[in-house]
Structures are given as C-alpha cells and as structure tokens.
Copies of this chain bind each other. A is one copy, B any other.
Amino acid sequence: MNLPLSNHAYGEHALVLPPDDPTSHDDADISMETRLRMYRMLQEMRQFEKRAYDLFMQQLVKGTTHLSLGMEAVAAGFGAAMDTDDYTFATYRGHAHTLARGVPMEGVLAELLGRANGLLGGKGGSMHLTSVEHKVMGSYAIIGAHLTIANGAAWSAQYRRSGQVAVCFFGDGTTNIGAFHEALNYAAVFKLPVVFVCENNQYMEYTAIGDITAVRRPAADRAPAYGLEPIVVDGNDADAVHLVAAEALAHARSGKGPVMVEALTYRHGGHSRADPGKYKPPGELEAWLAYDPIKVYRGRLERLGVAAADIDAINAEVAAAVDEATEAAKNGPLPDPRAAFTDVWADGGHQWRS
C-alpha cells in the first residue's frame, strides 16, 4: 500500500522551516507611522494572548481557547491595511483578528471569562468573537462555512456599491473541506470583493497539512482552479503581509474580483489548550521561534533607527492596557441569568409557541 502516512511515522513528517532573512522588507515602502502601529498591534496580540493563557491556567477561562501566538503578523499586516468599513471574518482562532480591528481588550477577555461585560455577554465565548461595531462580523468555529458567509458580505457591499471589502481568514486545514471550494468558485464567478487569507501554520489540529493534502501549497496551488493568481507571502513578516494585503484589498475593491493569499506561518503553542504539540518534529518550533514575528519586526524597527527605549515604551503601554483589561474582566459581573433567554429571535426573546 501506498498511504502517505505509511511512508513515515506520525510526527516524523518533513519540517517546513521559515525564511531566514528578517531584513528582506527593511526598505519596503511603508511609513514609520504604519510600522509603529503594526508593532503595537503585534504587542497587543502577543501580550493579550499570553495573558489569556495565564488565565486559562488559573482556570478562569473555561471551555477551550485557541491562541495564535507566533501568527500575529498576518493579523497585524491585514489589520493595518484594511479600511474602517471593511469586514473581517475570522475563525475560533480569532483573538488577534478581533484586536486588529480595534475591539477593546476588556470585552474580549471578559468574554473568555464568561462575564456580563464580555463582547457577547458570555453567550458566545472565545470561539465566536464578534463586534459588528468594528465590522468584525464574527468568528466561526465550524470549518468552512464562514468563507461562504464572507462572500455574502462582499456581495452585499457590491450590491450596495459601498466600496467595502470582506476579508476572510482561515487555516491551511480548511482548504480541504467542501465549503472552501464552493466559496472560492462562487466568489470568482460573481467577482465579489473578498480577500481570502489562508493562514498556513503547517498543521490542522495535530496532523501536518502535507500529510493530508494533495498539493504542497494548500491554498496557492488551488488558486488557479478558480482562475486566481497563486500568492504566497511570508506570514511572519508584518511588512510583507501588509504590502500583499494592500494590493489584494485594492484589487478586490476595484471590482476585479476576489484574491486568495497564502501566508506561511507557525503557531508556537498547541492547537488548543488540550494539545501538548507532540507531533511537531524536533527543531521545527525552535526554527520558527527564532523567526518570531515580533522579533523580526523589532529588529527591523531598530535597524531603521527606532530607539530601543521607544520600543520598550510601547511594550510597557500595552502591558498596562492588558493589566487593566484583565482587572476589568475579572471584576466583571456574571451574566444576568435572564440573558440566557434573550436574543434567540429578533424580537429579543426565545418564545416559539403561543
């Protein structure tokens, strides 16, 4: 027999290593203002999620939570490129994408803690972060569907001639499910203003993407099947992402139809809190830690002349904000029991019979 997984033991698949030149985008045409904004975002995402992890360990965060530690440059690069009115569609691994749109940390953290001041009043949880006010149109926890829903928002923007673009983030593993295919063809046929962003972090939950995918690049190698250009970007370099994001958004906004971007990155931790990450072959995590998006970006700022003290000041400001949000979340009241019975229907209630 010739099964892909009979050629190697589980966990012994080939390593995918990061690029090794962090200077490649030092002279990219990106303003220092934008760069500092992205650096701050990276810090917010990182420090926020580390805090979420700590709270998890203290058993304050219930259920499950999926961190994107190590993948922040994708969220920051896109977040900084999007217009205020553009739509974000994220997954259960959506903390960073939510913060990237300016959603306050307190609401997100309080939601993880199941408090009344949570973004969703405790009814959604970590996997369903949504802030319509910030055009974060939801985080979706069942693989695939949200690509088709993002199409709908893009269709609406097209119909309303609003100039908005829908940006839809999803993982490498998601490229193998049916809804991915339906969404991509549909978007291409109707030239919808949507940008699909595959965060290829090399794994679905515990299985290496290469072990269960017929092509090497799960998104890019599928793009031509929808008449799209294959685009791959270094997902650990916020500047690289930012440039590609700006171009993709402009393309979609101009009516030329969808774009799909595959961003190569890596998650430092496990899939979710339950995962010890044993399937990662030796050396892989270390290589990606050495190419950590924050390290890459801080190095760049320093080479471009930003004083270490100024950078440290940003870090400290973010740390203070995270502390403040933590306090507010911890001090948040439990949801009113009556909240469990509201908003099944648009009339605010849950009655289904007379």
User: Which residues of A are at the interface with B, using a C-beta cutoff of 8 A?
Assistant: 1-4, 144, 158-159, 176-182, 184-186, 188-191, 211-215, 221-222, 224-228, 255, 257
Contact = CB atoms under 8 A, between A and B. Distances in A.
A284 to B, nearest CB: 21
Given A185-B213, A188-B214, A214-B189, A255 B178 contact: no
**6 closest A-B pairs by CB:** A178-B178, A181-B181, A188-B214, A225-B225, A214-B226, A214-B227
Nearest to A191: B2
Q: What is the oligomeric copy number?
A: 2
A200 to B, nearest CB: 15
Contacts of A212: 189
Contacts of A214: 184-185, 188-189, 225-228
Contact of A178 (B1, B158, B177): B177
Nearest to A216: B227
Contacts of A255: 2
A196 to B, nearest CB: 13
Given A178-B179, A221-B224, A3 B185 contact: no
B182 A177 contact: yes
- Most chain B CB within 10 A, of A178, A184, A190, A221, is at A178
A215 B222 CA distance: 12
A149 to B, nearest CB: 14
Nearest to A227: B214
B189 A182 contact: no
Given A178-B179, A189-B212, A215-B225, 8 more contacts: A1-B159, A4-B191, A144-B178, A176-B182, A185-B213, A189-B213, A189-B214, A224-B224
A343 to B, nearest CB: 30
B189 A185 contact: no
A221 to B, nearest CB: 6
A333 B353 CA distance: 48
Nearest to A218: B185
A9 B41 CA distance: 49
A215 B185 CA distance: 9
A183 to B, nearest CB: 9
Contact of A221 (B178, B190, B215, B225): B225
A222 B177 CA distance: 15
